[in-house]
Amino acid sequence: MDIEPPTGLRCEHLVDPLGVDVSRPLLSWTLENPGRGQTVRAFRVIVASDEENALKETGDVWDSGLVTPAGSNSVEYGGKRLRSCTRYHWRVMWVSGGKEASRFSDVARFGTGLLDRRAWKARWIGRARCTEHVSGESVNVGITTGPLVLAHGVYLRKEFSTPCSERVRRATACICGLGFYELYMNGRRVGDRVLDPAQTDYGKTALYSTYDVTDLVGERNAVGILLGNGRYIKNYGFSHPRAILQIQIEYVSGGKETIVTDGSWKCSHGPLLENGLYSGERYDARLEMPGWDQPGFSDSDWDRAVTLRERMPVSQMVQPIRVTRTITPDRVSKPEPGIHVVDFGQNFAGWVRLRMKGPRGTRISLRYAELVDDEGMLNMGPNQKADASDIYIMKGGGPESFEPKFTYHGFRYVEVKGYPGTLTKDDIQGRALNSDMEGTGRFRCSNGLFNKIHDNILRGFCSNAMGLPTDCPQRDERYGWLADAHLAAEMAMFNYHTAAFYRKFLRDIRLAQKRNGSLPNVAPPYLPLYPADPAWGSAYITIAWLLHNHYGDTRLLREHYPYMKRYVDFLSKVSEDHVIRGIGKFGDWCSPGETYPKKTPVELTSTWYYFHDVLLLSRIAGLLGERKDAETLSNLSERIRDSFNREFFDGVRYRGGGPGAGNGVLNQTSNILPLSLGMVPEGKEKTLVEEMVSSLKDDHDHHLDTGIVGTRYILDVLTDAGHGEAACRVASQRTYPGWGYMIERGATTLWERWEEYTGDGMNSHNHIMFGSIDAWFYRVLAGISCLSPGWGKIQVRPHVLGELTFAEAAVKTVRGTVSVSWRRDDDSFTMDLQVPVGCESVIWIPLLWKGASIREGDSVIWERGKKTETVKDISFTGVDGMHAGFRSGSGTFRFVEKRQA
Ligand code: BGC
Report the distance separating Cα 227 and Cα 243, nearest Å.
8
Preceding omega of 197 cis (within 30 degrees of 0): yes
The answer to whether the Cα torsion of 10, 14, 20, 23 is positive or negative is: negative
pLDDT-based confidence at 866, cuts 50/70/90? confident
Which pLDDT score, from 0 to 100, does residue 658 have?
60
* Residue-level pLDDT at 117: 85
Q: Which residues pair with 34 in a beta bridge?
A: none
499 Cα–ligand 1 center, Å: 24
* Distance (Å, whole) CA 884 – CA 815: 26
Closest atom of ligand 1 to 752 CA is 9
pLDDT band at 798; cut points 50, 70, 90: very high
Name the residue with the closest Cα to ligand 1, atom 12: 586
Mean pLDDT over the full length of the chain: 94
CA 471 / ligand 1 centre spacing (Å): 7
- Rounded-to-integer distance, Cα 447 and Cα 114, Å: 51
Do 157 and 297 form a contact (C-beta atoms < 8 A)? yes
In 306-427, beta strands by DSSP E: 306-308, 314-315, 321-327, 331-336, 339-356, 363-369, 371-372, 378-379, 389-393, 400-402, 409-417
User: Who contacts 500 (Cβ-Cβ below 8 Å, separation ≥6)?
Assistant: 12, 13, 14, 317, 318, 319, 437
Pocket residue to mutate for ligand 1, from 468, 477, 519, 768, most atoms within 8 A of Cβ: 477
| Distance from C-alpha of 583 to C-alpha of 602, rounded to nearest angstrom | 9
Confirm if 367 and 407 have CB atoms less than 8 A apart: no
Taking CA atoms only, the protein residue closest to ligand 1 atom 2 is 471
Ligand 1 centroid, distance to 465 Cα (angstroms): 16
- What number of residues does the chain have? 901
Is the CB of 477 within 6 Å of ligand 1?
A: yes
Does any ligand 1 atom lie closer than 6 A to the CB of residue 484? Answer: yes
| Ligand 1 pocket check for 483: Cβ under 6 Å | yes
Identify whether 182 is a catalytic site residue.
no
Give yes or no for residue 586 CB within 6 A of ligand 1: yes
Task: Give ∠ CA 623-629-635 in degrees, rounded to 5.
Answer: 110
In the predicted structure, residue 133 carries a pLDDT above the cut 80: no
Atom of ligand 1 nearest to the CA of 477: 8
Nearest to 457 by CA among 739, 246, 189: 739
**pLDDT score at 237:** 62
The yes-or-no verdict on residue 525 having pLDDT over 50 is: yes
What pLDDT is attached to residue 135?
36
Res 138: pLDDT: 32
Mutation probe of ligand 1 site: the residue of 278, 384, 586, 764 with most atoms within 8 A of C-beta? 586
Is residue 613 within 6 Å of ligand 1 at its C-beta? no
CA distances from 370 to 344, 532, 719, 766, 880 (A): 10, 30, 35, 9, 47
Cα 767 to averaged position of ligand 1 atoms, centre (Å): 9
Q: What is the pLDDT of residue 137?
A: 35
**Of ligand 1's atoms, which has the minimum distance to the CA of residue 764?**
8
Measured by CA distance, the residue closest to atom 1 of ligand 1 is 471
Instruction: Give the bridge partners for 522, in sequence order.
Output: 481
| Average pLDDT score over residue span 104-115 | 97
- How many C-beta atoms lie closer than 10 Å to residue 170's C-beta? 18
Is the pLDDT at 834 greater than 50, yes or no?
yes
Res 253: pLDDT:
95
Task: Tell me if 589 CB under 6 Å of ligand 1.
Answer: yes
User: How far apart are the CA of 478 and the centre of ligand 1, in A?
Assistant: 10
* Residue 136 reports pLDDT greater than 80: no
Question: Cis before residue 531, ω within 30 degrees of 0?
Answer: yes
pLDDT band at 335 (very low <50, low <70, confident <90, very high): very high
Q: What is the mean pLDDT of residues 595-623?
A: 97
pLDDT of residue 148: 46
Ligand 1 centroid to Cα of residue 412, in Å, is 21
- Does ligand 1 come within 6 angstroms of the Cβ of 774? no
Give the model's confidence band at 900: pLDDT under 50 very low, under 70 low, under 90 confident, else very high: confident
Q: How far apart are CA 779 and CA 820, in angstroms?
A: 11
Residues 250, 370, 477, 626: which is the catalytic one? Answer: 477
Ligand 1 nearest atom to the CA of residue 595, by list position: 12
Where does the pLDDT of residue 152 fall: very low under 50, low under 70, confident under 90, or very high at 90 and above?
Answer: confident
Which pLDDT score, from 0 to 100, does residue 236 have?
64
- pLDDT, position 901: 73
CA distance 206 to 200: 6
pLDDT at 766: 98
User: Model confidence over 692-721: pLDDT tens digits?
Assistant: 999 999 999 999 999 999 999 999 999 999
Residue 898 banded pLDDT, cuts 50, 70, 90: very high
**Mutation pick for ligand 1 pocket among 370, 383, 588, 589 (CB with most ligand atoms within 8 Å):** 589
340 pLDDT above the threshold of 50: yes
Measure Cα distances from 278 to 62, 108, 242, 495, 822 in Å.
Answer: 48, 39, 20, 28, 46
What is the reported pLDDT for 145?
Answer: 39
Pairing mode, if any, of strands 339-356 and 331-336? antiparallel
With a 6 Å cutoff on the Cβ, whether 705 touches ligand 1 is no
Could you tell me if the CB of 472 is within 6 A of ligand 1?
yes
Q: Is the CB of 861 under 6 A from ligand 1?
A: no
pLDDT confidence tier of residue 166, bands split at 50, 70 and 90: very high
Nearest protein Cα to ligand 1, atom 3: 481
- Confidence (pLDDT) at 637: 98
Structure confidence by residue, pLDDT tens digits, 874-885: 999 999 988 999
Report percent pLDDT > 90 for the chain.
91
**pLDDT per position as a tens digit, 733-743:** 999 999 999 99
What is the spatial distance between Cα 899 and Cα 854, in angstroms, rounded to a whole number?
A: 9
Q: What's the pLDDT band for 662 if we cut at 50, 70, 90?
A: low
**844 in ligand 1 pocket by Cβ < 6 Å?**
no
Tens-digit pLDDT profile for residues 425-464? 999 999 999 999 999 999 999 999 999 999 999 999 999 9
From the alpha carbon of 472, which atom of ligand 1 is closest? Answer: 8
Q: Give the Å distance between the CA of 505 and the centre of ligand 1.
A: 17
Nearest CA to ligand 1 atom 4: 481
Residue of the nearest CA to atom 6 in ligand 1? Answer: 471
DSSP string of 65-116?
-SB--SSSSEEE--SSPP-TT-EEEEEEEEEETT--BPPP---EEEEB---S
Rounded to the nearest angstrom, the distance between the alpha carbon of 754 and the centre of ligand 1 is 14
Q: Ligand 1: which residue has its CA nearest to atom 9?
A: 471
DSSP string, 195-226: SBSPP--TTT--EEEEEE-GGG--SEEEEEEE
Q: Is 375 a catalytic residue?
A: no
Q: Is 250 in the pocket of ligand 1 (CB under 6 A)?
A: no
pLDDT score, position 131: 42
- Angle (CA) 52-57-58 rounded to 5° is 85
Q: How far is ligand 1, taken at its centre, from the CA of residue 574, in Å?
A: 23
Name the active-site residue from 403, 752, 856, 897.
752
In 3D, which of 176, 162, 288, 268 has the Cα closest to residue 230?
176
State which ligand 1 atom lies nearest to the alpha carbon of 590. Answer: 12
| Residue whose CB lies within 8 A of the most ligand 1 atoms, among 383, 471, 474, 752, for a mutation test | 471
pLDDT, position 134: 34
Amino acid making up residue 139 = V
Pairing of strands 840-846, 793-796: parallel
Mutate to test the pocket of ligand 1, among 384, 484, 768, 770 (most ligand atoms within 8 A of CB): 484
What's the rounded mean pLDDT across residues 228-246?
Answer: 83
- Protein residue closest via CA to atom 11 of ligand 1: 481
Is 131 within 8 Å of 32 (Cβ atoms)? no
Ligand 1 pocket residue status of 709, Cβ below 6 Å: no
Q: What is the pTM of this model?
A: 0.96
Per-residue pLDDT reduced to its tens digit, 8-60: 999 999 999 999 999 999 999 999 988 999 999 999 999 999 999 999 989 99
481 Cα: distance to centroid of ligand 1 (angstroms):
6
